[in-house]
Amino acid sequence: MRHTELSEQNCPIARSSAIVGERWVWPILRSAFNGARRFDDYQRGTGVARNILTDRLAGLVENGILVKALPEGAVQGHREYRLTDKGRALFPVYLALMQWGNEWTGLPTPPVEVQHTPCGHRTRPTVVCSECGDPLVARETRPLFGG
Amino acid sequence: MRHTELSEQNCPIARSSAIVGERWVWPILRSAFNGARRFDDYQRGTGVARNILTDRLAGLVENGILVKALPEGAVQGHREYRLTDKGRALFPVYLALMQWGNEWTGLPTPPVEVQHTPCGHRTRPTVVCSECGDPLVARETRPLFGG
């Protein structure tokens, strides 16, 4: 199977991994969530070679994660790459990945954490069951196939 | 910057994306979470070419996500690839990614959903604040740098 075929599979993990299971995509999304708009913002935010960055940004536009457009209100100038609703919806996945990285990748202290502004607390993003609110762990779930 | 250097950065997203931001890794983890142990299980579960699968499994062992060992109680035979604690800790990230895939990748109906066995309900994995329990969204968080 080729990697591009993942996006055709009838599987949410295959389809999402065809987009975010690609080198440099998470650092690019990190830049976007931290406010990057222009190509040079992304370049500074990631340190990726410009030709690779060009390719990845185009892929994220093609997949509907970013939109390439003039700045709001502008009629000319450099186009920006802004997150779409689909892209912003990756934010919880990003937080869950950040939490895992803070806990499991040998960082002496978490270099970045997240404040939840409505409650004001330093938060530990947690993946829970929508129905009972308890954290979800592998041994306590069962896949249900066929929707 | 080279991709391998991501794992050295003082950033949880860089370090985690050096592991899971790689082609085929999520479908391999899907197989692992669905019970794959032997090389052939992973091959059937992913459809990835065997040489690529060999490379990715070795990378996941090197990064401490899988451990390669004889089946429990066996003294000889084929070695299996089993999830470590570090690998199982990716399960919440996997669920968050699955949820995003179900909602945003054009699947007509979710082909796989998750039952939370303790409460018995079909669950919608949700990333919430550990302190107040509310779902985390991009506009309501602020990064805190420096631990």
Instruction: Look at residue A147 and tell me if it is in a domain.
Output: no
- High-pLDDT (> 70) share of chain A, %: 99
Which range has the top average pLDDT, A122-131, B75-84, B102-111? Answer: A122-131
Instruction: Look at residue B63 and tell me if it is in a domain.
Output: yes
In angstroms, the separation between the Cα of residue A75 and the nearest Cα of chain B is 27
Confidence band (pLDDT; 50, 70, 90) for B2? confident
Tell me if A97 and B24 make a contact (CB, 8 A cut-off): no
Look at residue A108 and tell me whether its pLDDT is greater than 60. Answer: yes
Helices (H) and strands (E) in chain A, counts: 6, 6
Q: Are B38 and A18 in contact (CB under 8 A)?
A: no
Instruction: Look at residue A145 and tell me if it is in a domain.
Output: no
Q: Which pairs from A2-11 meet CB under 8 Å and 24+ separation?
A: A3/B23, A3/B24, A6/B27, A7/B105, A10/B107, A10/B111, A11/B30, A11/B101, A11/B111, A11/B112
Please give the structure tokens belonging to residue B21.
């931001």
Instruction: For B82-133, write each residue's pLDDT tens digit.
Output: 999 999 999 999 999 999 999 999 998 899 999 999 999 999 999 999 999 9
Tell me if A116 and B96 make a contact (CB, 8 A cut-off): no
Q: Are B141 and A116 in contact (CB under 8 A)?
A: yes
What pLDDT score was predicted for residue B62?
97
Which residue did the predictor score with more confidence, B4 or A5?
A5
Q: Are B96 and B125 in contact (CB under 8 A)?
A: yes
Instruction: Look at residue B146 and tell me if it is in a domain.
Output: no
What pLDDT score was predicted for residue B147?
52
Nearest residue to B123 (alpha-carbon basis) of A135, A6, A60: A135
Task: Supply the pTM of this predicted model.
Answer: 0.94
Which of left, alpha, beta for B49 (phi over 0: left; psi -120 to 50: alpha)? Answer: beta
What pLDDT score was predicted for residue A147?
52
Nearest residue in chain B measured CA to CA from A103: B12
Confidence band (pLDDT; 50, 70, 90) for A135? very high
Tell me if A10 and B126 make a contact (CB, 8 A cut-off): no
CATH number of the structural domain spanning residue B39: 1.10.10.10
- Looking up tokens 């996945």 gives A93
- Residues in chain B within 8 Å Cβ distance of A89: 100, 103-104
Nearest residue to B39 (alpha-carbon basis) of B93, B72, B79: B79
Instruction: Look at residue B50 and tell me if it is in a domain.
Output: yes
Tell me if B142 and A115 make a contact (CB, 8 A cut-off): yes
Instruction: For B11-64, write each residue's pLDDT tens digit.
Output: 999 999 999 999 999 999 999 999 999 999 999 999 999 999 999 999 999 999
Nearest residue in chain B measured CA to CA from A132: B119
Nearest residue in chain B measured CA to CA from A118: B140
Question: A112-116 and A80-83: which strand pairing?
Answer: unpaired
Instruction: Look at residue A125 and tell me if it is in a domain.
Output: yes
Q: Are B79 and B62 in contact (CB under 8 A)?
A: no
Tell me if B131 and A144 make a contact (CB, 8 A cut-off): no
ipTM of the complex: 0.94
Instruction: Look at residue B147 and tell me if it is in a domain.
Output: no
Instruction: Look at residue B145 and tell me if it is in a domain.
Output: no
Helix, strand and coil content of chain A, in percent to the nearest 5, comes to 45, 15, 40
Look at residue A39 and tell me whether its pLDDT is greater than 60. Answer: yes
Residues A127-135 have a mean pLDDT of: 97
Q: Using CA atoms, how far apart are residues A31 and A41, in angstroms rounded to an integer?
A: 8
Tell me if A144 and B135 make a contact (CB, 8 A cut-off): no
In angstroms, the separation between the Cα of residue A10 and the nearest Cα of chain B is 7
Interface test with B, best of A9, A26, A48 (most B CBs within 10 A): A26
Domain count, chain B: 1
Tell me if B96 and A92 make a contact (CB, 8 A cut-off): yes
What pLDDT score was predicted for residue B73?
87
Confidence band (pLDDT; 50, 70, 90) for B68? very high
Look at residue A33 and tell me whether its pLDDT is greater than 60. Answer: yes
Residue ranges making up the domain that contains B70? 3-140
Nearest residue in chain A measured CA to CA from B87: A104
Instruction: For A9-24, write each residue's pLDDT tens digit.
Output: 999 999 999 999 999 9
Interface test with A, best of B43, B114, B130 (most A CBs within 10 A): B130
What pLDDT score was predicted for residue B78?
87
Nearest residue to A113 (alpha-carbon basis) of A131, A95, A127: A95
Residues B70-91 have a mean pLDDT of: 93
Which residue did the predictor score with more confidence, B8 or B82?
B82
Give the least confident one: A2-6, A75-79, B67-71. A2-6
Nearest residue in chain A measured CA to CA from B2: A48
Question: A80-83 and A141-145: which strand pairing?
Answer: unpaired
Q: Using CA atoms, how far apart are residues A67 and A81, in angstroms rounded to an integer?
A: 5
Classify B127 as helix, strand or coil.
strand
Residues paired with A135 in a beta bridge: A128
- Looking up tokens 């069962």 gives A142
Instruction: For A49-94, write each residue's pLDDT tens digit.
Output: 999 999 999 999 999 999 999 988 888 888 999 999 999 999 999 9
